[in-house]
Structure 1
Amino acid sequence: MKGLNGKKIGVAAERRAEAISTLIQKYGGTPIAFPIQGEQKLNESICEQNIKELLAKPFDMVVLTTGVGAETLENTAQRLNLDSNFIEKLGNTTLAIRGSKTVKWIKKYSLSAKYTSEDGTMENLLTSLASEQPNKDKHLFLQAYNQGDVILKKALEDLGYDVYLSKPYHYRAPDDKTLHGLKKAVTEQTLDAVIFTSKTQVQNLFQTTEGEIVKAFNENVLAVAVGKVTAAELKIKGINNVFQSEKQKMGAMIVELSEHYKKVSIH
């Protein structure tokens, strides 16, 4: 028996929604797409300014928090014919990295990071940076985006760093109709589970009516997270039971979710 037989699974992702839906169907489930990531928008003029500032000023450390952000800065540097200068600057500056995609990006250029988040969270990376004392008057280039950037900048400033905030891209708010549709499906508990692949999706869902949504997830709708950052955001919102796969991969998550429902049906 396929573990997801008869299960209606909401998919909050956008970029990998089709692949996730195909896997859900493979294991007998019915995927329902609610893409609430929001459209990713390049901040082109800001990117150009960021690259010029990075190359012109002495920075003691560069913090890259997303693979998308690193690639966006890279593409801007290429457009300005400053890509070799950009990579050289990173190679001569202490790097702090969060996220598997960011790690993969620096490896492409044979760069190495002094600090890497062991569990993929900013909290873990901040703990490592806190050990770098004294930090007063050290200039830090922080690549972030519109979700939590102010909080992150403040946390680094509290550690003593002089922070330059680089926001090469941002996410627009998701479509209201789609967001309302997912909220309705969760609160009315017509879904068996919802798969989240980023904390942005979680934050978008919980902008309003948090109490009703939390109640539904803590009763009959299973919150499924790809990655520790996404799972942590769900728990912050008050969801007690968050399903995570041991491997932070989408394929592994669907397989383990199928096995989970098989065990539940036996009991």
Structure 2
Amino acid sequence: MNAPAPTPEAEPLAGYRIGVTAARKAEEQITLIERRGATVEWAPFLSVEPNRIDAPALRAATQAVIDRPVDLFVATTGIGIRSWFDAAESWGLLEPLLATLGEAEILARGPKSVGALRRRGLRELWAPESECFEDVLAHLRGRDLNGLRIVVQEHGQSLSMVAHALRRRGAVVTVVTVYRVESADDPAPMFRMVDLVAERKLDAVTFTSAPAVASLMDVAGVIGRRDEVVAALQADVMATCVGPVTAAAFEMWGVPTVQPDRSRLAAMVKLLETELPSRKHGTALDVAGHTLVLHGDVVWLDGTPVHLSPAPLAVLQSLLVNPGHVVSRRELLAVLPGGATNSEHAVDMAIARLRAAIGTGSVQTVVKRGYRLVVS
């Protein structure tokens, strides 16, 4: 017995091509997206083991924290806090470190850092609902920091500018670099992903960390395609971020992003289900008595997938821009694959194939004007 054909509800991302840039939990993310019918292109933009720890430097920084009372401690990442405390434990320094930090006012950037602190018996005094580091800084702006000793746990990228800003206000700042995030070792997949974005061959790209955004832009700059990548992300390729910290990395490039209400992987994938179809003609239309939905490159006709070749698909996409409105033969000729090498006969053939696929009454010929979808 044959399995029933998938429906847009069962595979809401069928026909879409989505880029994944994550190194950590990449397999989990890819599986979640592929289960929803999408084709995935994967290129890790960070090292698979990105959290490189300089043990001697971290031990020296830990001892420096212990040696003097701390007034305020800023925790920025869960993995950073866990890695720091585990390393301190291996050196026999955990107990004095926790005692020093336990006397300080603790600010935590988000729930992951809160969880890591509480596992070691430390309690935060405040954490922003947004999970944005900028909101932690905003929380401090109205306060007198003169003479306060502030310890900031770095989150993989340099926070030296933050430290300088706090020092300008009179604080004595110690930045603890637990780890550094490094780019992936193999550049080939990154180059390919940049090309796919620049050439607008992807519908969306997902990002789960701000360093991955920075790495994408760095690679695009190296191969001379940064302007094309930014233009594509501003228009046709949806930048999908796991949360506000990652999304903030796109602000300097003027790239719009989408992000879930909760900074979780499953929530980000769920967001793709709703955002992509709504941006890519995902609304169901009544066309000549049939229900038609275009998901990416796949047409669903009354719940059954209809795979079109490039020419009729291009014609359908053009007709769907303004359903029911007439599109001239010249406009349809311009969107056909092959461009200037096509003749008007190519339009006739594409229309004939489209009618054969979705119904002969679906596309109406408007004499001397062009063609229109028969919608109600």
The two structures have a TM-score, normalised by structure 2, of 0.67
Q: Does 2:31 correspond to 1:22?
A: yes
Cα deviation, residue 155, structure 1 = 2.2
Letter in 2 for 1:255: K
Q: How does 1:185-200 map to 2 (within 5 A)?
A: 185-200=196-211
Answer whether contact 1:66 1:98 (CA < 8 A) is retained: yes
Tell which structure's C-alpha radius of gyration is larger.
2
Answer whether contact 2:18 2:39 (CA < 8 A) is retained: yes
Distance 1:55 1:247 in 2: 35
Q: Does 2:273 correspond to 1:254?
A: no
Who is 2:51 aligned against? 40
Distance 1:72 1:220 in 2: 39
Letter in 2 for 1:155: A
Q: How does 1:88-237 map to 2 (within 5 A)?
A: 88-133=99-144, 135-175=145-185, 176-207=187-218, 208=221, 209-237=225-253
Answer whether contact 2:19 2:206 (CA < 8 A) is retained: yes
| Structure 1 residue matching 2:52: 3-state secondary structure | strand
Letter in 1 for 2:40: P
Answer whether contact 1:130 1:159 (CA < 8 A) is retained: no
| Structure 1 residue matching 2:69: 3-state secondary structure | coil
Answer whether contact 2:22 2:43 (CA < 8 A) is retained: yes
| Aligned residue-pair number | 265
Answer whether contact 2:23 2:44 (CA < 8 A) is retained: yes
Cα deviations by residue, 1:157-186 (Å, 9 ceiling, x for unpaired):
233211112111102233322321221111
Answer whether contact 1:174 1:204 (CA < 8 A) is retained: no
| Structure 2 residue matching 1:165: 3-state secondary structure | strand
Residue range with higher mean Cα deviation, 184-193 or 101-110: 101-110
Answer whether contact 1:98 1:121 (CA < 8 A) is retained: yes
Could you say what the CA RMSD is over the residues aligned between the two structures, in angstroms?
Answer: 1.6
Distance 2:239 2:67 in 1: 46
Q: Does 2:22 correspond to 1:7?
A: no
Letter in 1 for 2:264: K
Distance 1:99 1:247 in 2: 11
Who is 1:76 aligned against? 87
Who is 2:66 aligned against? 55
Distance 1:245 1:137 in 2: 39
Residue range with higher mean Cα deviation, 203-212 or 119-128: 203-212
Structure 2: state its 5+ residue gaps.
1-7, 285-376
Distance 1:196 1:98 in 2: 19
The two structures have a TM-score, normalised by structure 1, of 0.93
Cα deviation, residue 132, structure 1 = 2.4
Structure 1: state its 5+ residue gaps.
none
Distance 1:159 1:102 in 2: 26
Cα deviation, residue 70, structure 1 = 0.9
Deviating 4+ runs (over 6 angstroms): none
Distance 1:230 1:201 in 2: 9
Distance 1:158 1:116 in 2: 24
Distance 2:165 2:155 in 1: 15
Q: Does 2:98 correspond to 1:87?
A: yes
Cα deviations by residue, 1:12-70 (Å, 9 ceiling, x for unpaired):
11101100000001111112211102332111111111111111112211111111221
Distance 2:57 2:79 in 1: 15
Cα deviation, residue 126, structure 1 = 0.4
Cα deviation, residue 109, structure 1 = 2.7
| Structure 2 residue matching 1:142: 3-state secondary structure | strand
Residue range with higher mean Cα deviation, 153-162 or 13-22: 153-162
| Structure 2 residue matching 1:141: 3-state secondary structure | strand
| Structure 2 residue matching 1:205: 3-state secondary structure | helix
Letter in 2 for 1:213: V
